[in-house]
Amino acid sequence: MATPIARSRPALPLKGLITADRGCRVLGVCGMHPDHQEALKKNRVVLAKQLLLSELLEHLLEKDIITLEMREHIQAKVGSFSQNVELLNLLPKRGPQAFDAFCMALRETKQGHLEDLLLSTLSGLQHVLPPLSRDYDLGLSLPVSESCPPHKQLRLSAAVEHSLDNGDGPPCLQVKPCTPEFYQAHSQLAYRLKSRPRGLALVLSNVHFTGEKDLEFRSGGDVDHSTLVALFKLLGYQVHVLLDQTAQEMQEKLQNFAQMPTHRVTDSCIVALLSHGVEGGIYGVDGKVLQLQEVFRLFDNANCPSLQNKPKMFFIQACRGDETDRGVDQQDGKSHAQAPGCEESDAGQQELLKMRLPTRSDMICGYACLRGTAAMRNTKRGSWYIEALAQVFSERACDTHVADMLVKVNGLIKEREGYAPGTEFHRCKEMSEYCSTLCRHLYLFPGHPPV
């Protein structure tokens, strides 16, 4: 996926950009999330006893979580227990991506049981995340396509990538609370949303791919994952996380999630799928496709009775085709309606939903791009769509229902434009869309009633 950013910002010299990027990576613009720190703390003794560091440190070094000097300092400690303690003391100071990188390194070094332990602890933590730092430059970006065959992919050297990206990590998130007056005025005609937690949310993020498709590493995908986890927690959801799943694993674990008994006592549900994709499906890390209709089927009224008459939100961050939207020039500054092709695509989607309404209702699904087109992702800031989604939902969930918020997301996406001179992604565009079978307004009523 590629990501264009605001086009009004002048280009900075290459050297200056590389310096700025390196500064962010060494210092970090925000600390480790408190939930991540708590997960490490609660499992500190087990980790100190069981960690195998020799290969793990190399992975953390490769991911820029530790430096050569830090590795040498850890290795200078006497005994594996002392070395493990030194690493555990260091990790919370290494920025917002350190926890995810540590979990990934555990998986890559066949210590997945420790990763499972951390993620299980993390999913049980209910308190919300504090605001993250919002200290990135909105002027530059690197477009990268979100699925598509290898010949379509943009491959740049590290130096060029640094020059096109500026900013490190997710934006600042601080959800504005709903007022009691707004709740009283709108709750009667809206879906009930009072349970604590509001519901279960699943964030499934595929980043590392294998198999015959030769799908590329989704650089920036970890930012999307962290952003959505933070956003959904701030909105009052209990978040479950799945990373790097095959198509079969996705199907099985989505089915398990849909059958969780907690759905019976909560008021809504969220599923976010982040991966490479094609029209009608998303890729597992094995290069095989899970059809989105199968995902929706798992949560319909027949297969998921616990969620009948309750709103179910889906967010799909994946390509729906190979084509890069080149955009068109506005005439005389007048805003145009969507192109006929887009209107036909929307109409087709509406007809499909109408046919399925008897068994499939109370759903709303946001797509990062139109069918047949590629979605855009910034290798440092994450995808355009998830960034816009987080911005709108954090600012307007207090007084705007979900369908109208997705319209505002569309407006933000419409205005973005790629900046990658000399590549097919320069001045590229993207257009998000959503489809809905909701039967009432869906307000998230963040912070109400107050704890």
The residues carrying an active-site annotation are 276, 319
92, 56 contact by CB (below 8 A): no
For residue 208, how many other CB atoms are within 10 A of its CB? Answer: 15
Residues 353 and 325: their CA atoms lie apart, in Å, by 25
102, 90 contact by CB (below 8 A): no
Residues 364 and 348: their CA atoms lie apart, in Å, by 16
Classify 145 as helix, strand or coil: strand
Q: Helices (DSSP H) in 303-415: which residue ranges?
A: 340-356, 384-396, 402-415
Cis bond leading into 449, ω under 30°?
yes
Nearest C-alpha neighbor of 409 from the set 400, 422, 419, 420: 400
Cis bond leading into 197, ω under 30°?
yes
Name, in order, each residue with C-beta under 8 angstroms of 215's C-beta and a sequence gap of 6 or more.
147, 150, 209, 276, 283, 287
Nearest C-alpha neighbor of 325 from the set 273, 372, 272: 372
53, 80 contact by CB (below 8 A): yes
